[in-house]
Structure 1
Amino acid sequence: MIMHGGRHASPSHYLFKMDSFSFLSKALADDFISDTFVAGGYRWQLIIYLRGDWIKAKTNYISVQLELLNTSSLQIGWKVNVIFNFFLFNQLKEKYFSLQDGSVKQFHEMKTKWGIKNFIDLNTFSDPLNGYLIDDSCVFGAEIFVVEKTFKGDHLSLMKNYDTLYHTWKIEKFSTLLEEYYESESFGFYKWNVGLYPNGYGAGKGNSISLILGMSGSSVPQDTKLLATFTVGIKDQLYGKHIKQTGQSIHKPSKKICYNLMALEKLKNPKHGFLVDDTLIIEAEVKLVGVVTKWST
């Protein structure tokens, strides 16, 4: 066994000092069982096998084991995920050394104990030059960290059958629009809408016409987002050369997708057919692909 690391701070949850190791190893039939201690909201005990392991096999190693207690008070089907470590104090270096694992072990009804059979071989342990057993005295320790039994994530449910929503927004007297922002009537179950900045938004402010695709927050359940493909655009009323922007997004009420679709100079030029008789026609197409909800266990 190779002891890794080494630190001056003592283990957080349990320490056991033996002042007469040779006597205890002869007097105890098989093992030493510690007092009960609490860590992570659960009750535990440390078991030290001084002359073998927990299957009663005689070995040249000291074995250690951690046991979860009072399991009868836990709910049916209980599981406790734990990261734990066992320590030995090196009295020469004045540091605690351990076997660094870091993997998560699961305690459950059929497995209430976890341990290390070959924690340290007796020859290494007994040699005072190694610092673990000096004047027949040694110190063992344990740290236990309970890993949360829940996790959170997202669950994407794809739609088996989905309809494409179409919406046309006809805006007359475009030149008279003085407000910064206008919004279309809502459409579809989730109340989608198209927003218009007649004089541009963000980088397009003052030089472009900007469109936004959004939806009403009241139409979407809390912690729900929608995966949708969409198209928003301005209709060319003379030549059919419509200006469109397509995309895909995981959408939620607070999210607005903005596009600076066209320069105002081009929009207002009657040769292009986007603004006819001071009327602008905006078209939107939305296809709901899936619903994203919060997932936890």
Structure 2
Amino acid sequence: MSSLNLDEQDGILRTISDAPPTHYTIKIQSLSLLSKYSLEKYESGEFEAGGYKWKLVFYPNGNKSRNVKEHISLYLVLAGANVSQTCWEVHAAFRLFLLDQNTGKYLALQEKNERHFHGMKLDWGFDQFLSLEAFTGTSNGFLMADACVFGAEVFVHKEKSTCKGECLSMIKDAVMYKHVWKIDNFSKLNAESYDSKTFIAGDQKWKIELYPKGRDSGTGSHLSLYLALADQTSLPPTSKICAEFTLRIIDQMYGSGYHYQYNKVSWWFSASSPKRGWPRFISAESFNSTRYLVKDSCTVEVEVTVQGTASALE
């Protein structure tokens, strides 16, 4: 091992340790079979250190996703519950070990500064832990009889919540949902507003709101129509849902292919803004014609496509 450079390089300290790793050890036998079976990496089982669960990830021919060549790569990964939380992190110092089977001593690599593990960065370690030449050289004793031994020590310093914010998730290939609401005995609707049956689009419950005598600027002269969240209290205050929708009243004289509608509109629905529509959707005069209201019945239709959601970072 005398040929190895044990000086600090690029903030990485390389030392020789007489003591084995404190927290976890992996022995890999028949290492060459990983490559034979096209296994680019090996992930260890989980182990606990500092109150958290961790695992080791070893690339015997280097981490190709990081363009590593002619080296082995070794990483420590934060595992277990809560690791997907973006605004939460664990500060830890760690050493990763490789056994020299000739001497019983360990090559240990440690970064000068502690690392912060969090939902956006679960792994830290060494792309170029050791050159393949040094790893496979029999004089160093790292790989003997096609077997090697790795290990880890992890020392957690603290954890903390790091920020407040939100996460926007847009939906690829969003699906449109159509809901049809037939309203009978329209002339007998005496309440200020009526709701359609609840329907689901984009994993969210919705309803159509109808104001027969109008609402706001449409009161007394127009029919008002809205798309609304069916239960706004179920949505956290910091969450939003982006939905594109179209509201229509079917023209019963010419069939379902004809209708009175407003153009498609996109809106961010939330607990504080649970509905969107038009107080002057259609004038009472136009609506009461024989086209839209036939035998005291009308049909309202909505098409809803949930395009994305925004929620608080955890």
Larger Rg: 1
TM-score of the two chains, using structure 2 as the length reference: 0.45
TM-score of the two chains, using structure 1 as the length reference: 0.47
